Amino acid sequence: MRVYLPATFAMLTGLHETGVMSARSGWGFAATPALLEFYTSGDEDEIGYAAFLDAAEASLRLLAIGDEETFPYRRVVVSVDVADEVVTLTPENGESVVSLNPAQIRVEDIAAIHIDTEESEEATKAAIAAVDAADLGDEDAELTVGDAQDNFMAFYDPTELPFLIELL
């Protein structure tokens, strides 16, 4: 199953150094049956993209913690392919939310790495400050988060991880 994991650049660095990354609190996002039911139209790719966007928004929350030093205003999403047996659907937490057990992801599990571009940093910075208010229904904050979500995240092949860490 394809699962989208919210991350930070520091988490990518750890993945490169150890070959393993833990899904934060064991959570990820996927095109689940609940998500498919939530959307009345759209193909599998479009539904998967909705789960990807949920992971990108969750990356904002990781950045809001404030412990990312290298790129504090760049969202990161790691797309992984894991066995169905390690995934538990948790629709009570959100249509796309899944629990992973074990929550450790190996480099070999990675299908793609997505990182905000430099041009997106200002919008991401604003979204980090607004994400909690958006969750509470503040329309201006929702628009601010939406602006960041609309920004392109660069795609990297998993084999590019060492170069990302060294050169980005």
Delimit the domains of the chain by residue range: 2-159
Distance of alpha carbon 8 from alpha carbon 63, whole angstroms? 7
Alpha-helical segments (H) within 88-138: 121-135
Q: Is the peptide bond before 72 cis (omega within 30 degrees of 0)?
A: no
> What's the whole-model pTM score?
0.95
User: Nearest-CA neighbor of 104 among 83, 89, 73, 133?
Assistant: 83
From 128, 143, 153, select the one nearest 64 (Cα to Cα).
Answer: 128
Residue 22, both tokens: 């833990």
* Alpha helices, H only, the chain: 9-18, 33-38, 44-64, 121-135, 139-149, 161-167
Question: What pLDDT, on the 0 to 100 scale, is given for residue 40?
Answer: 81
Quick one: pLDDT at residue 97?
Answer: 97
pLDDT of residue 168: 80
The Cα–Cα gap between 101 and 27 comes to: 9
Low-confidence ranges of the chain (pLDDT < 70): none
Bridge pairing between strands 87-89 and 97-100: antiparallel
Summarize pLDDT for 123-154 with one digit per residue, the tens.
Answer: 999 999 999 999 999 999 999 999 999 999 99
Partnered with residue 113 across adjacent β-strands are 78, 156
Q: What's residue 42's pLDDT?
A: 81
Q: Percentages helix, strand, coil for the chain, rounded to the nearest 5?
A: 50, 25, 25
